């Protein structure tokens, strides 16, 4: 006898029983979605397979306590007391809980269960995050305190109200010490200066080097004793570059040529390559650029010289206007008007002071003059040459005892004027 067995091979779902096809298939299970009930096709009608609703995938039907084997297995896996301890904090899991366990700290989002606002966190022993009362950050004012829980400056170090170091802008103004054991280092918004202070009226000492800033406003180097000077150096001092003392400059002058010596107010300022110049005075060799081997001693000496060399001027305004070479002047205003006349030698106040272009003159005496002539020897107060190549002793004119000689190169005759009477002397 042959037996026909129909084994369902597929499952189809429809909105409801009325939506099932008119004729079904013996190999299909039908599910009505509105009731979640299952049906099979008998060949003529749809027959409900189960009076209860179909189970959703993964759903366990019935009451859990009736599933003995499953209940025993679950009881063995889940303890009766359901708690979870994280970083020493125990959480109750008997009710629904949601936990987020970070693999690292996230700035601005990771909460801290306990602590003091402003304290700085650090990694302690055993890789545990800790905080200390000795580290404090004032986030409102942007200040850091070490040993101070209320820093009054950008960076404050201390062990109490009277023992502290204040660093930063307004370090001096922001805290008034109640004792002298306070050090300030920072910019003063009031004075616009960098201030190093010990607070109060105490001195500031730099141990080891012998430096001391004294409360009187004096400063000592190589000593801790107030000698009464604004700067007291006990030992050898060195200044690299020009030094200025009450507008008096000591140095090499412009160009920093090592063979120059410049001492005075505004001396050798324009110098570029001029070398071996020695200047002492006010405005001396002021405009010199390339002139070399000049000696200027006195105020305004060789003031207008630019390129002239081998000049010697001693006295106020000596050689003031000279711009040429080989002039020597000793005395007040000596050769002061000379501009282009070279190789003059004048000794005595105002000697050759009116000479401008005369050259090769030698003058000795007060107010001796060349008359702008050249090649003369002029000796005596007010003695003046009246032509080139004269030898003049004493005042000319009607002054008794005056002697004037004139050399005529072509005839080798000296014309000698004695008391106004001309005499001729033939040269051998």
Per-range mean pLDDT, top range of 15-29, 108-122, 147-161, 397-411: 15-29
HSE-CB at 189 with a 13 A cutoff on CA atoms is 7
Domain ranges of the chain: 10-48, 143-202, 344-428
Residue in this structure with the two tokens 């054991």, named with its chain if needed? 181
Report the sign of the C-alpha dihedral through residues 413, 418, 420, 421, in that order.
Answer: negative
How far, in Å, CA of 25 to CA of 71, rounded? 40
The residue-averaged pLDDT of 199-224 equals: 63
In this prediction, residue 174 carries a pLDDT of 47
- Which residues are CB-neighbours of 173 under 8 A, at least 6 positions away? 188, 189, 190
User: pTM score > 0.85 for this model?
Assistant: no
pLDDT digits (tens, 9 = 90+) for 238-259: 877 888 888 888 999 999 999 9
**Does the structure show a pLDDT above 80 at 110?**
no
Cα 284 to Cα 316: distance, rounded to the nearest angstrom? 10
Give residue 27's pLDDT. 85
Res 53: pLDDT: 52
Compute the distance between CA of residue 393 and CA of residue 143 in angstroms, rounded to an integer: 88
Instruction: Determine phi and psi for 377, rounding to 5 degrees.
Output: -115, 120
Burial of 404 (0-12, 13-18, 19+ CB in 10 A): buried
Taking alpha carbons only, the member of 294, 285, 368, 360 closest to residue 333 is: 368
Say whether pLDDT at 182 is over 60: no
Neighbours of 178 (CB within 10 A): 11
Structure token pair of residue 46:
């749809």
Structure confidence at residue 59 (pLDDT): 52
What percent of the chain lies above the pLDDT cut of 90? 32
- Cα–Cα distance measured from residue 279 to residue 263, given in angstroms and rounded to the nearest whole number: 6
Grade residue 346 by pLDDT with cuts at 50, 70 and 90: very high
Query: Which H or E element spans position 427?
Result: none
Query: pLDDT of 265-286, one tens digit each?
Result: 999 999 999 999 999 999 999 9
Alpha carbon distance, N-terminus to C-terminus of the chain: 184
Phi–psi pair at 330, nearest 5 degrees: -130, 115
Q: What is the mean pLDDT of residues 143-170?
A: 67
Mean pLDDT on 165-190: 53
Closest CA to 162 of 192, 200, 133, 203: 200
- Phi, psi (rounded to 5 degrees) for 66: -85, -15
**H or E segment to which residue 69 belongs:** helix 68-77
pLDDT, one tens digit per residue, over 135-147 is: 888 888 888 887 7
- Higher pLDDT: 173 or 368? It is 368
The DSSP code sequence of 281-322 is: SSSTTTT-SS--S-EEESTTTTTT-SS--S-EEESTTTTTT-
Residue 108 pLDDT grade (very low, low, confident, very high; cuts 50, 70, 90) = low
Which pLDDT score, from 0 to 100, does residue 391 have? 83
């Amino acid at each position: 006898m042959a037996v026909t067995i129909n084994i369902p091979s597929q499952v189809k779902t429809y909105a409801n029983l009325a939506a099932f096809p008119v004729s079904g298939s013996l190999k299909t299970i039908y599910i009505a979605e509105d009731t979640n009930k299952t049906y099979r096709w008998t060949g003529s009608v749809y027959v409900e397979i189960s009076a209860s609703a179909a189970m959703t995938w993964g759903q366990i039907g019935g009451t859990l306590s009736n599933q003995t084997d499953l209940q025993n297995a679950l009881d063995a896996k889940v303890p009766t007391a359901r708690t979870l301890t994280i970083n020493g904090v125990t959480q109750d899991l008997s009710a629904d809980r949601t936990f987020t366990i970070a693999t690292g700290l996230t700035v601005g989002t990771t909460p801290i269960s306990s602590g003091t606002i402003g304290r700085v966190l650090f990694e302690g022993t055993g890789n545990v995050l800790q905080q200390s009362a000795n580290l404090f950050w004032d986030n409102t004012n942007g200040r850091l305190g070490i040993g101070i829980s209320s820093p009054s400056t950008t960076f404050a170090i201390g062990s109490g109200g009277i023992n502290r170091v204040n660093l930063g802008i307004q370090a001096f103004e922001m805290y008034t010490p109640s004792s002298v054991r306070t050090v300030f280092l920072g910019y003063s918004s009031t004075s616009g200066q960098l201030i190093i202070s010990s607070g109060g009226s105490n001195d500031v000492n730099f141990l080891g080097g012998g430096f001391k800033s004294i409360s009187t406003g004096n400063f000592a180097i190589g000593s801790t004793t107030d000698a009464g000077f604004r700067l007291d150096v006990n030992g050898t001092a060195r200044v690299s570059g020009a030094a200025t003392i009450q507008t008096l400059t000591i140095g090499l002058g412009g160009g920093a040529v090592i063979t120059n010596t410049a001492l005075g107010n505004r001396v050798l300022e324009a110098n570029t390559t001029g070398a071996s110049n020695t200047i002492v005075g006010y405005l001396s060799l002021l405009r010199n650029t390339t002139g070399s081997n000049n000696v200027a001693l006195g105020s305004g000496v060789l003031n207008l010289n630019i390129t002239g060399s081998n000049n010697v001027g001693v006295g106020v305004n000596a050689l003031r206007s000279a711009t040429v070479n080989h002039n020597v002047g000793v005395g007040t205003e000596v050769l002061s008007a000379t501009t282009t006349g070279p190789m003059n030698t004048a000794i005595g106040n105002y000697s050759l002071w009116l000479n401008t272009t005369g050259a090769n003159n030698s003058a000795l005496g007060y107010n001796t003059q060349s008359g702008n002539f050249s090649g003369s020897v002029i000796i005596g107060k007010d003695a003046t040459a009246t032509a080139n190549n004269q030898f003049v002793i004493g005042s000319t004119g009607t002054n008794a005892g005056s002697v004037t000689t004139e050399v005529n190169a072509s005839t080798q005759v000296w014309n000698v004027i004695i008391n106004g009477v001309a005499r001729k002397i033939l040269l051998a």
